[in-house]
Structure 1
């Protein structure tokens, strides 16, 4: 059985006092204790090397940080959300924090139970991915003392969140497609009333309105397989004579649409341009190579962590941080866009 590493053990290795180690790792010690940056780094490095972990119960009783961050995430979260979570865990580890994760899907009861668990462990803050549901709202579940930061805009009146600036991105995308000669541009998405989709829809409509074009909106209010979605999109393209289709759902669905269009005799992008969302690694290997919206998950994660610690430290911060996505143009859109 491993012996628990104590503050005094780290102090002996670092050749400093126990009070200095406590000041760096636990925020303890008297206010007069000053620690140089080189000493702070040496202590942090040793704590990591020696697998030091503060006792959250003892710390909470002393009114100090638990060095635990809670995270609520949907069991069926996208690859991009999981990429954000992975980077968040790395950043918290660099700060000597642990991440406690609660996962659930479409279950208000389970999400609320996880919140209660987090509070029982006196977590210092929360990062919440799982909040955008049609059947229920978590707006009344959070307390000011929870120190919560949301990923994507929540349905919570007073909140801090980090999100992609979808409105500007999709407005620009429509304008660029028009400049490339497309005039019948549509989109498709699941659950159009979800807040994460509304900003995409509003951006699309802003671009359409700016060029005085007709809008074509295919909203599917249930999750279906990529093949079934692709079949519906092809039928819609044929019915409306679209020359561009924007998929707000992920790249897998966009790739299925490209395949189904080809099977129906449409050429991509000559007849119909197709744009996905998430810019997954598979985009480079699809046929044709798929144009997609890059969300920059690492940047979103870093912004979320910085915002969270500003909230924990009670520093004045803006309620939201927006990260600008970027359309990566490949072979499923007109050649002129790649060169632009």
Structure 2
């Protein structure tokens, strides 16, 4: 194995795609429980800044205030994502007219976000939001089909590398992955990625969260799962699946509570093949576009903070050099999102003796300098 040069310390990390809240199981639960747990988890794993792609106003302002009071991360972005379809989440704002678009973009500018997130499959809707955003000096993040990325401008961001081939903004994770089944599809995705790179559009990774949403069982042994329960209470069903004799009961309850279930054996085999093509395309294009490590946490078995280190480890595993991976999650991310440098905190690895970059990345912890 070729020796890997591992820095003694690195700047705090940036998660380029994250949520700011969870959900309450009971109305008597505090609205601050989830954001407090997220902030603690991010700090534990050395995250100094985040870019929010979708959050309610309650989540955003609660998170912002708690972060200020407790030395939490800097925040880029914020507010609900705009959609022209019936919203599947309270983190989506249903927009039905051009006046709605104007008000939404104006709100983003007034609140100082500088960003608006769009989740849509409609070329006309995305084009209309893009035009209004450009008129107001607001940047756009798109969670939608790859063919709609042509409406993004330099400095905008496309959310989720896997969705370069998606046909809908609301594709099931399995369906989105299966779009990569052929060599022709992979070549098309590589071409789209390179075009976005040439146009100065960033692309978030979100690889680990997508894989865990398809192959749920792989996330059962994720470290720090217990820290997800104050954020996503249904995580207890995952922990139940880990207990002797509790797998089937936990699996049933998880599906009942969230709708999540693993694909059948044939579909799983096809999805594994498609996954290999995703990694092939990511490795082939990472030098040609602004690849922004993001986790979309908190999600099922993706722990805020730790999941970013898993994301970076995956990038290193597929062939991205360690210096590239670290730069992507620090200097490049802060520059892209206009986040000030954080000189007060740096990270060091618990071990830098291993030649395996994943061991180094997963062991990064914050130290005060």
Q: Do they fold alike, i.e. is TM over 0.5? A: no
What TM-score results when the alignment is normalised by the length of structure 1?
A: 0.29
Relative to the length of structure 2, the TM-score reads 0.27
Structure of higher CA gyration radius: 1
Q: Relative contact order: is structure 1 or structure 2 higher (C-alpha 8 Å, sep ≥ 6)?
A: 2
